Structure 1
Amino acid sequence: MSVADVPEAITQAHHEEWARVVAGLARRFGDLDIAEEAAAEAFAIAVERWPADGVPPNPGAWLTVTANRKAIDRIRRESKRDDKHKEAQMVYDDPPEPLGAVDDERLRLIFTCCHPALAMDTRIALTLRMVGGLTVPEIARAFLVQETTMGQRITRAKAKIKAARIPYRVPSAEDLPARLTGVLTVLFLVFNEGYLATGPDTDSVRHELTAEAIRLTRLIRALLPEDGEVAGLLALMLLTEARRTARVSASGELVPLDQQNRGAWDATMVAEGHRLVRERLATGMAPGRYQILAAINAVHTSARDIRDTDWSQIVALYDQLVHLDPTPIVALNRAIAVAELDGPDVALAAVDSLEDKLAGYHAYHATRADLLRRLGRSQQSRSAYDKAIELAGNTAETAYLTRRRDQLG
Structure 2
Amino acid sequence: MQTTGNKEIIENIFRHEYGKMIAVLVNKYGPSHLDKIEDAVQNALLKAMQVWGYQDTPQKPTAWLIRVANNSLIDMFRKEKYMQEDTGDTGNSENMAEPEEMVMENRINDDQLKMIFACCHPSISEEYQLILSLKLIGGFSNKEIAKALLKKEDTVAKSFTRAKKMLKSKVKTLDTPIEIGLTSRLNVVLKVIYLLFSEGYAASTGEVMLKKDICLEAIRLALLLSRNKYCNKAEVQALIALMCFHTSRFEARLDKEMEAVDLEHQDRSKYDKDLIRFGIDHLETATEMGQTPSPYHLQAAVSYEHCIAPDFEKTNWENILHLYNLQLQYQYSPVIELNRIVPLAKVKGPETALKELQKYQKTDHFRETALFYAIKADIFRMLEDKNKMKTALEKAVALTKNTVEKKYFLKKRKGIL
RMSD: 3.1
**Kept in 2: contact 1:38–1:70 (CA 8 A):** yes
Q: Give structure 2 stretches of 5+ with no counterpart.
A: 1-6
361-370 or 132-141, which deviates more: 132-141
- 1:121 matched to 2:121? The reply is no
What one-letter code is carried by the residue in structure 2 that aligns with 1:309? T
CA 1:55–1:294: 2 relative to 1, 3 Å: closer
Q: Deviations over 1:124-143 (max 9, x none)?
A: 22112111122222222111
- 1:403 matched to 2:405? The reply is no
Partner of 1:364: 372
Q: Deviations over 1:161-205 (max 9, x none)?
A: 23x24224221442321222122122212211221222223x322
What one-letter code is carried by the residue in structure 2 that aligns with 1:184? L
What CA distance in whole angstroms lies between the structure 2 residues aligned with 1:242 and 1:105? Answer: 29
CA 1:219–1:385: 2 relative to 1, 3 Å: same
Q: Deviations over 1:324-360 (max 9, x none)?
A: 2212111111122211111122212222222323222
Partner of 2:50: 48
- Offset of 1:62 from its aligned partner? 3.7
Q: Deviations over 1:348-380 (max 9, x none)?
A: 222222232322221111111211232233333
- 1:130 matched to 2:145? The reply is no
Q: Deviations over 1:63-82 (max 9, x none)?
A: 3343234334444555xx75
47-56 or 386-395, which deviates more: 47-56
Q: Deviations over 1:224-258 (max 9, x none)?
A: 48511011101101111111111111122211112
Q: Deviations over 1:204-235 (max 9, x none)?
A: 22121112222222232232485110111011
What one-letter code is carried by the residue in structure 1 that aligns with 2:37? A
Of 396, 403, 413 in structure 2, the residue corresponding to residue 388 of structure 1 is 396
**Kept in 1: contact 2:234–2:285 (CA 8 A):** no
- Offset of 1:291 from its aligned partner? 0.6
CA 1:211–1:56: 2 relative to 1, 3 Å: closer
Q: Deviations over 1:18-58 (max 9, x none)?
A: 22222333341423222212221222222223334654565
Partner of 1:205: 210
The percent identity for this pair of structures is 30
- Offset of 1:104 from its aligned partner? 4.3
CA 1:39–1:281: 2 relative to 1, 3 Å: closer
Q: Deviations over 1:57-107 (max 9, x none)?
A: 6543443343234334444555xx75758738545598999x999954434
- 1:285 matched to 2:287? The reply is no
What CA distance in whole angstroms lies between the structure 2 residues aligned with 1:119 and 1:297? Answer: 31
What CA distance in whole angstroms lies between the structure 2 residues aligned with 1:86 and 1:104? Answer: 21
- 1:64 matched to 2:93? The reply is no
CA 1:12–1:82: 2 relative to 1, 3 Å: closer
CA 1:305–1:50: 2 relative to 1, 3 Å: closer
CA 1:344–1:41: 2 relative to 1, 3 Å: same
**Kept in 1: contact 2:317–2:346 (CA 8 A):** yes
Partner of 1:348: 354
What CA distance in whole angstroms lies between the structure 2 residues aligned with 1:183 and 1:101? Answer: 20
- 1:253 matched to 2:263? The reply is no
TM-score, normalization by structure 2 = 0.85
Alignment of 1:34-45 (within 5 A): 34-45=36-47
Partner of 1:373: 381
SS, match of residue 401 in structure 2:
coil
Q: Deviations over 1:103-134 (max 9, x none)?
A: 54434432343322211222122112111122
- Offset of 1:307 from its aligned partner? 2.1
Partner of 1:223: 228
Partner of 2:22: 22
TM-score, normalization by structure 1 = 0.86
What one-letter code is carried by the residue in structure 2 that aligns with 1:211? L
Of 317, 328, 331 in structure 1, the residue corresponding to residue 334 of structure 2 is 328
Give aligned pairs, total: 398
What CA distance in whole angstroms lies between the structure 1 residues aligned with 2:57 and 2:210? Answer: 26
What CA distance in whole angstroms lies between the structure 2 residues aligned with 1:231 and 1:165? Answer: 30
- Offset of 1:290 from its aligned partner? 0.4
136-145 or 224-233, which deviates more: 224-233
- Offset of 1:281 from its aligned partner? 4.0
**Kept in 2: contact 1:101–1:172 (CA 8 A):** no
Of 241, 244, 264 in structure 1, the residue corresponding to residue 247 of structure 2 is 241
Of 160, 165, 171 in structure 2, the residue corresponding to residue 166 of structure 1 is 171
What CA distance in whole angstroms lies between the structure 1 residues aligned with 2:298 and 2:331? Answer: 11
What CA distance in whole angstroms lies between the structure 2 residues aligned with 1:234 and 1:246? Answer: 20
What CA distance in whole angstroms lies between the structure 2 residues aligned with 1:373 and 1:11? Answer: 38
Q: Give structure 1 stretches of 5+ with no counterpart.
A: 1-6
60-69 or 288-297, which deviates more: 60-69
- 1:315 matched to 2:317? The reply is no
334-343 or 133-142, which deviates more: 133-142
